[in-house]
Amino acid sequence: MKRFAVRERGEEGASLIIALIFVVATAIVVVALVNLTGTNLINTANLQNERSVEYASDAVVDGTIQVVRPESNSATLGSTTSTCSSTSATVTTPSFNPASPINTYSLEAFCFASQVGFTRVVTIRACPANTANYGACQATALLEAQVTYVDVSCTTNPSGCPAPGNSMFINYWTVERASA
Would you write out the chain's pLDDT as a tens digit for each of its 180 residues?
Answer: 666 666 666 667 778 889 999 999 999 999 999 999 999 999 999 888 888 888 888 988 888 888 888 775 544 554 445 667 665 555 556 677 777 788 788 888 888 888 777 788 888 888 888 877 777 888 888 899 999 888 766 665 566 666 666 788 889 998 887 665
Separation between Cα atoms, residue 1 and residue 46, nearest integer Å: 80
113, with CB counted inside 10 A (0-12, 13-18, 19+), is buried
Candidates 101, 110, 112, 100; CA nearest to 180 is 101
- Domain assignment present for 97: yes
Q: Looking at residue 75, what is its pLDDT?
A: 46
Task: Provide the number of structural domains found in the chain.
Answer: 1
The answer to whether residue 180 sits within a structural domain is no
Domain of residue 61, residue span: 50-175
In a domain? residue 100: yes
Give pLDDT, residue 141: 87
Is 17 within the bounds of a domain?
Answer: no
Q: What is the pTM of this model?
A: 0.69
Residue 167: inside a domain, yes or no? yes
Residue 102 pLDDT: 82
In a domain, 14, yes or no: no
- In contact, 134 and 113? CB cutoff 8 Å: no
pLDDT of residue 69: 80
Indicate whether 69 belongs to any domain: yes
- The sign of the torsion formed by the CA atoms of 18, 23, 26, 32 equals negative
Q: Could you tell me if residue 2 is inside a domain?
A: no
pLDDT of residue 24: 96
Distances (CA, A) of 65 to 15, 97, 145: 74, 12, 9
